[in-house]
Amino acid sequence: MTTESYMKSTYRYGNASCILALIFFLMLPVAICAHLNVSPDWSNVLKGLGSIAIIFYPTAVIEVVAYAPLLGAGGTYLCFVSGNITNLKMPCALNAMENSDVDSNSEEGELIKTIAIGTSAITTTIVIALFVLAFSLNPSFSEVFSDTSPLAPAFDQLTYTIFGAIAATYFVKHWKISIFPIAAVSLLLVFAGTIEIGVLIFVGVVFSLIGAQIMYKLKLV
């Protein structure tokens, strides 16, 4: 098998699984309506959808364009079907890339990212299922993870603990091109502190690419 034929079949299986996932996910509300013998109030569906689509549809377009080159083909298919990309699958892929020390744009990079993201999706599904089972069987278990639990602050800051560790490895290797995007994003947040994370990532990536391109042209990296 050549790289080309492997990638060709990845796209074929990936597209098929994406379309199958779309059908499965759309069947969820259909099945709920059939089971409960109700029809949704379509005007309320449109009203609710309108208020979230205005934020999440443009974000979805940005995410597909910005994340796909970072996740690789196999990783993209798995990520967008299993969800929780920025807070879990993306850092997991970065972690695996760092450990295996392969070029992100090579076939090796594509494979390592697919293995990492797939493993993450399976692990996450099992952990969530176990927790849901525990919550259902013993509701008091949920108190351990409630807002008033001593552990709650750690989970509030979870994202920062993930990206702190990743930042350490990337910044050691690429500190010259790291300073500008962090400073630019932090400054932007001073003036527009509530930017949605999907948009902020896009802005961060654009800042970072511009900074790196300038440094590359000036032969500073």
Phi, psi of 195, rounded to the nearest 5 degrees = -55, 135
Smallest distance, another protein to C-beta of residue 93, A: 8
- DSSP string spanning 126-186? HHHHHHHHHHHH-GGGGGGGSTTSTTHHHHHTHHHHHHHHHHHHHHHHHHHHHHHHHHHHH
- 195: DSSP letter: -
- Smallest gap from Cβ 145 to another protein, in A, equals 5
Query: Least Å distance between CB 54 and another protein?
Result: 10
Q: Which of residues 16-55 bind another protein (CB under 8 A)?
A: 17-22, 24-26, 28-29, 31-33, 35-41, 44-45, 47-49, 51-53, 55
Alpha-carbon gap, residue 73 to 77, rounded angstroms? 7
What mask, x for binding another protein by CB under 8 A, covers residues 68 to 87?
Answer: xxx-xxx-xxx-xxxxxxxx
Supply the minimum distance, in Å, between the C-beta of residue 131 and another protein. Answer: 4
DSSP 196: -
Q: Give min distance, CB of 44 to another protein, in A.
A: 5
Site for another protein in 180-219 (CB under 8 A): 181-182, 184-190, 193-194, 196-198, 200-201, 203-209, 211-213, 216
Number of residues that bind another protein (CB under 8 A): 158
CA dihedral 92, 93, 94, 97 (to 10 degrees): 130
Of 190, 185, 175, the C-alpha closest to 207 is 185
Q: Which of residues 115-134 bind another protein (CB under 8 A)?
A: 115-125, 127-129, 131-132
CA distance 109 to 189: 33
Q: Which of residues 147-186 bind another protein (CB under 8 A)?
A: 150-151, 153-174, 177-178, 181-182, 184-186
Residues 82-111 touching another protein, rule: CB under 8 A, are 82-88, 90-92, 94-96, 98-100, 102-105, 107-108, 110-111
